[in-house]
Amino acid sequence: MQHGSSPSANSQCLWRMAGGIIIFMSTSRALHGVIGAGGFAHGPIWTLPIAGGASAEHPSPRLDTAQADALAALAQARAQLEALAAGRRGAGDELAAEIFASQALMAADPTLIAAVQGAAEAGRTAVEALYFAGEEQAAIFAAIPDEYLAARAADVRDVAGRAVRIITGATTPLPTAPSILVADDLPPSIGAEIPRELLLGIALRGGSRTAHAVILARAAGIPCIVATAGLAIDGSLDGTPAALDGASGTLHLSPNATTIERLRAEAGEAQASATRRAGLRGAPCVLKSGERVHLLANIGSADDAVRAVAVGAEGVGLLRTEFLLLERSTPPSEAEQVTAFRAIFAALGAERPLTLRLADIGGDKEVPYLRIPHEANPFLGVRGYRLAMLSGRADLRALFASQISAGLLAAAAAKARLRVMAPMVAVRAEVDDLLALVATVRADLAQRGAAGDAAAAAAATYALHLGVMIEVPAAALTVATLARGLDFVSIGTNDLTQYVMAADRVNPALAPLQDATAPGVVALLKAIVAGAAEAGVEVGVCGELAGSAVGAKLLTDLGIRELSMDPAVIDEVREALIGA
């Protein structure tokens, strides 16, 4: 869909006489964005008031108590978010409960607290300290090329904004009538506090389809679009009649009756399709040949695991463990990681496997406290598993070891299925090092077990399926030897395409080259499948190619029988593959 605005095909019109000449004027406009959640909404526009930020009024802007006031507000924000999570959990809404529980943890994060303290010590008021600290931490997330992780910036701003409202006494703004909300972005907890009957739809100028506010809208059946070009958020659209078409990512301003009826009919058809697809949840995905295809989910938190189970995912093919490393000033402890992994296992259940991807950081994914040197070309730099082998950096190797040990401890406690894979592997030496690291971790757990740690003793021998991601052409061409001793390989089609096509995947000018169906990429996919068969290991895909009907059919035609994708597209892919 082209972004921007265009006249509607069924525009309302005005006729104006000018020197005896009749002029045809269009008063209807269509603004185009990115699909966040399907559906149709018709009603007036209501603009979410822009928060005051650092200039918000403070009833008593005392500098001598700024730090104490700000930290007290953060603590109160945490309590509110915990109560919000408990309320949603009590109502059976596990997805929202997990999102607000994760925000509560953000409010207590040492990095955010330290940033607030630093801002206050620099002479800022409590409101200013919260605002600047929130923006500083949000910027770290927003700079990450990974869309899912970048979308967490909204959560940080939401937490800081809640603390600001506590200090200023501001309340959550509400529309006075059922409306289509317009904003630059929507803080998840603000969206949750607006009564459902007042929120017909959501159109955001910014935002991301993986943002928590959008995920909640999708779960609630509220149509939503993001990245809407040309959308005014200054209040000038308030009261304007509008029709929101979530299925096409379009906001129609001042539509006529014909347009509204057409969109309503199309939305009805789309809803019928969604209901039909949802009816297939739980049914095995079997091809025309009789072969079974396993559909798994890519996730980044426990709330994502809840979404995955809800749409019938058979497990998790990719857990982005980076969510545990960001928004901190020190690496997470083993105990913290065990807690996080156990929460995900609890959501998945013992029968669904969890594939834990070791930290895919370095270069473009900056984690300041790890002191990874800046590189001119980060995509070809020291990233992924290469960090575990970096000379003189025992701390980085210990980080990767702690992820493996935490995974084993959590899986053993939950009696769940665990898979671990290393990213950015290119040569056999890296695989040998991974096998040695796992052996070292098991030996350490066994030693702790011998000293009386029953949990460590159980984890030391617990079953673990080990694999690597195939994202580098060198690895793709040598899978037969590279994968010996492993249990599986998982193809990361996003990076693989980038390296095959020599096209930076975050450079919009090269977007046409980011085509995972290009002949050169497909040739390597065939080589990977053949190499995996020769090595006797399973092969799956966790890149974006798996998340479209066309891509999924291409991959299954190549012989790949495990596909992992965003939970939001599993229904569509399942329907496309059954009987294909």
Q: Which of 58, 224, 285, 542 is catalytic?
A: 542
> Cα 39 vs. chain centroid, distance in angstroms?
21
Report d(CA 481, CA 530) in Å as an integer: 12
Say if CB 188 and CB 155 are below 8 A apart: yes
Dihedrals φ, ψ of 543, to 5°? -85, 175
Q: Which two tokens stand for residue 392?
A: 């003189």
The C-alpha atoms of residue 387 and residue 380 are separated, in whole angstroms, by 13
Angle between helix axes 334-348 and 94-107 (nearest 10 degrees) is 170
Q: Could you tell me the two tokens for 445?
A: 């757990």
Q: Are 133 and 112 in contact (CB under 8 A)?
A: yes
- Quickly list DSSP for 471-510: -SHHHHTTHHHHTTT-SEEEE-HHHHHHHHHT--TT-GGG
Sign of the torsion formed by the C-alpha atoms of 207, 210, 216 and 220: positive
Comparing CA positions, the residue from 203, 251, 244, 206 lying closest to residue 225 is 203
Beta strands in 360-462 (DSSP E): 418-422
Establish whether 42 is a catalytic residue.
Answer: no
CB burial class (10 A; 0-12, 13-18, 19+) of residue 40? buried
Residue 193 CB neighbour total at 10 angstroms: 13
SS3 (DSSP) at 8: coil
- Return d(Cα 243, Cα 293) in angstroms, integer: 39
The distance of Cα 407 from the centroid of its chain, to the nearest Å, equals 21
**Cα-Cα-Cα-Cα dihedral of 37, 360, 350, 431, to 10°?**
140
Half-sphere exposure of 179 (CA within 13 A, CB side): 19
Alpha-carbon distances, residue 78 vs 82, 162, 185, 248, 276 (angstroms): 6, 9, 21, 37, 40
Whose CA is closest to 372, among 354, 347, 353, 390?
A: 390
- Is 212 labeled as catalytic in the residue annotation? yes
The sign of the dihedral angle between the CA atoms of 213, 218, 224, 229 is positive
Q: Which of 58, 212, 224, 252 is catalytic?
A: 212
Q: Cα separation of 325 and 168, whole Å?
A: 32
Catalytic residues: 212, 542
